[in-house]
Amino acid sequence: MTGRPHPLDVAFLAAMEGYPPTTRWEMAFQYTVLGPVPTAAELRRRAEELVARLPFLALRLHGPAGARRWAPDPFDAAEQVAVVEAVDADHQQALARTWLDEPLDVPGPAWRLRIVHTPGAAGFTVVHTVHHALQDGLAAARTGLALLGCTPRPAPVRPRPAARRHAADLVRLAARTAADVTRGLAYRPGPFPFLTGRPGPMRVVDLPLARLKAIGARSGGTANDVFLGAVGTAVAHWATACGLDLAELPVLVPLDARHPTEQTWHGLQHGNRLFSTRLLLPGQGVSPAERLARVIRALHHRTVTARHAVQDTVRYLPASVARTAVRLFSAPGYSAAIVSSCPLPAHTPPDGLRVVSFLARGPLTPGHLLAVVLSGDGEQARICFHPDAGLPCPEALVDGWWRALAELETALLEGSGAVAGPGGVRPGRPRPRRGRSGSG
């Protein structure tokens, strides 16, 4: 956002114009922090210093619907950051939940940060809300940490593959993307007459991250593979509970595609650098273990080496392609759900401060059944289900999630742990770590 904006930044702003003004394009992050509560003056000073280093944070959305644009305004820290005192712990939790669900004003600032604390408590809660046209999820999470006085650590730079291997990866990536788009254009969603285009109440599930990792280790996959597979099973259980037929569930999976050279001050990153892939999850009539096996096979090609192909594709993306891609990938006719992960970014906290919990909520565009985000602090996984307001029996999503995990654990304990099978990864052996997905 400093200098010439990236085509994806412009594309996200343009994509807003095809949707109702009530569409929720913002992301929200909740940090639970132990340590002394910063004063309002300290928080505002830190925000002003950050804006001085990263001027794009002073941009505001201007103009009526159909003619939105970014424009710089004098930055008013008092408008965008605030510290609030709660009456008690219940009041603190209620305020944080309200802010987590509260949309940004458009036109208006593209982000806000609120801190709420209870006198005498050992810590405080932070809610940071960011418009998707300003930053993607991982970049926004790093900015939130910086506003708390933490120093985000840059992602490690991975070795670049040989030129011939890199060229082959680019060709394979283009072929897979073309195949995904072809299948996506042929997809006919629903019918889902109950969809309203408005987000309903969130439902949050907490569990030890080790539980997902243990299933992944037995299946030859990763915790993120298990998350994706279990979401598919949860939605299948939900469809059965509601009396619906769901033969398949196409989901959009955003991936972090930021090139190491695009990092700025202290590892902070501006703009959107995402590459989205379309994953077709089987619906009813398929066992959770087989669904997980298909996820692992579908994602197996995303090795560490292939990440460079994704990064270069996004880095040099032409503006016309970016605009078309964002419109297509956010359209309800392309996928039925948005599933992403946004782990707490690596950071160095100031003395006396420690982030002990992290929750992320992603955007939900009209026509999608739900958006699901996996977040957490490295020990505890937090999963946010954000369904459409008209989705029937939404409680069945959470029930279906717990059933999915129990069924996977039972299948792996009773079997040999080989769920990937022929053509996938080696049974019972975790495969090399892939690049993580990012919140979209």
Distance CA 86, CA 418 (A): 51
* 82 and 227 housed in the same domain: no
3-state SS assignment for residue 258: coil
Query: Average pLDDT for residues 373-395, to the nearest whole number?
Result: 93
The total of other beta-carbon atoms located within 10 Å of residue 351's CB is: 7
Domain-located, residue 59? yes
Q: Mean of the pLDDT values across residues 413-431?
A: 43
Please provide residue 46's backbone torsions phi and psi, each rounded to the nearest 5 degrees: -65, -40
CATH number at residue 23: 3.30.559.10
Q: 175 with 130, same domain?
A: no
CATH number at residue 224: 3.30.559.30
Contact 29, 128 (CB under 8 A): yes
State how far the Cα of 225 lies from the Cα of 419, in Å rounded to an integer. 12
CB atoms within 10 A of CB 309: 23
**pLDDT, tens only, 301-321:** 555 557 788 888 888 888 888
- Strand bridging mode 203-208 / 123-131: unpaired
User: In whole angstroms, what is the distance from residue 83 CA to residue 62 CA?
Assistant: 27
Residues 47 and 167 in one domain: no
Give the range among 358-362, 393-397, 424-428 with minimum mean pLDDT: 424-428
User: What is the mean predicted confidence (pLDDT) over 310-336?
Assistant: 86
- Res 302: pLDDT: 57
Has residue 438 got a pLDDT over 70? no
Q: What is the arithmetic mean of pLDDT over 217-232?
A: 93
Rounded to an integer, the average pLDDT of 410-416 is: 74
pLDDT higher for 430 or 114?
114
Residues 121 and 169 in one domain: no
pLDDT of residue 267: 58
Last residue of one domain, picked from the residues 126, 152, 178:
152
User: Within a domain: residue 45?
Assistant: yes
Distances (CA, A) of 314 to 154, 304, 308: 19, 16, 10
What are the CA-CA distances from residue 353 to residues 123, 142, 147, 344, 388 (Å)? 9, 16, 13, 15, 36
Confidence of residue 158 (pLDDT cuts 50, 70, 90): confident
Q: How many CA atoms lie within 13 A of 224 on its CB side?
A: 24
| Residue 122 sits in the same domain as residue 191 | no
> Is residue 91 located within the same domain as residue 236?
no
- Cβ neighbors of 88 (< 8 A, separation 6 or more) are 118
User: Is residue 427 domain-resident?
Assistant: no
Question: How far apart are alpha carbons 382 and 27 in whole angstroms?
Answer: 15
Structure tokens that stand for 434 in this block: 């892939």
Cα-Cα-Cα-Cα torsion 270, 275, 280, 281, nearest 10 degrees, comes to -40
Please say if the pLDDT value at position 54 is more than 50.
Answer: yes
Residue-level pLDDT at 419 = 44
28 lies in a domain?
yes
Higher-pLDDT residue of 282 and 419 is 282
Residue that is last in its domain, among 118, 152, 186: 152
pLDDT given for residue 105 in this prediction: 83
Q: Which residue has the higher pLDDT, 86 or 166?
A: 86
Q: What is the mean pLDDT of residues 400-417?
A: 84
- Tell me the pLDDT band of 418, cut-offs 50, 70 and 90: very low
Give me the mean pLDDT over the 342-351 stretch: 91
Residues 320 and 177 grouped into a single domain:
yes
What is the rounded average pLDDT for all residues in the chain?
85
Residues 205 and 108 in one domain: no
Instruction: Give the per-residue pLDDT at 3.
Output: 47
Predicted local confidence at residue 432, as pLDDT: 41
**Two tokens, residue 229:** 């597979």
Interval 393-406 mean pLDDT: 95
Note down the domain range covering 57. Answer: 7-152
pLDDT digits (tens, 9 = 90+) for 105-153: 877 888 999 999 999 999 999 999 999 888 899 889 999 999 999 987 8
The two tokens of residue 201 are 């109440």
Query: What does the pLDDT read at residue 107?
Result: 79
68-82, 324-338, 390-404: which is most confident: 390-404
Q: Reply yes or no on whether the pLDDT at 436 is more than 50.
A: no
Confidence tier at 439 by pLDDT (50, 70, 90): low
pLDDT at 423: 33
Q: What is the pLDDT, as a whole number, of residue 262? A: 67
User: Is residue 179 domain-shared with residue 117, that is, in the same domain?
Assistant: no
Share of the chain above pLDDT 70, in %: 88
What is the biggest distance separating any 2 CA atoms in the chain, rounded to whole angstroms?
63
**Residue 96: inside a domain:** yes
Other C-beta atoms lying within 10 Å of the C-beta of residue 186: 8
Identify the domain boundary among 152, 181, 207.
Answer: 152
Ranges 21-35, 267-281, 341-355: which has the least confidence? 267-281
- pLDDT greater than 70 at residue 380: yes
- Residue 86 shares a structural domain with residue 183: no
Residue 439: inside a domain, yes or no? no
The pLDDT, as a whole number, for residue 315 is 84
Give the integer Cα–Cα distance in Å for 390 and 420.
36
DSSP annotation of 418 reads: -
The answer to whether the CB of 81 falls within 8 A of the CB of 47 is: yes
Q: Where are the alpha helices (DSSP H) in 54-86?
A: 77-80
Residue 5 is inside which H or E element, if any?
none
Number of structural domains (the chain) is: 2
Domain assignment of residue 419, yes or no: no
**Whether residues 223 and 369 fall in one domain:** yes
In a domain, 112, yes or no: yes
Q: In whole angstroms, what separates CA 377 from the centre of its chain?
A: 14
Task: Check whether residue 51 and residue 72 sit in a common domain.
Answer: yes
Quick check: 279 and 364 in contact, CB under 8 A? no
Neighbours of 185 (CB within 10 A): 11
- Residues in the chain, overall count: 440
Strand partners, 358: 31
Q: To the nearest whole percent, how much of the chain has pLDDT over 90? A: 45
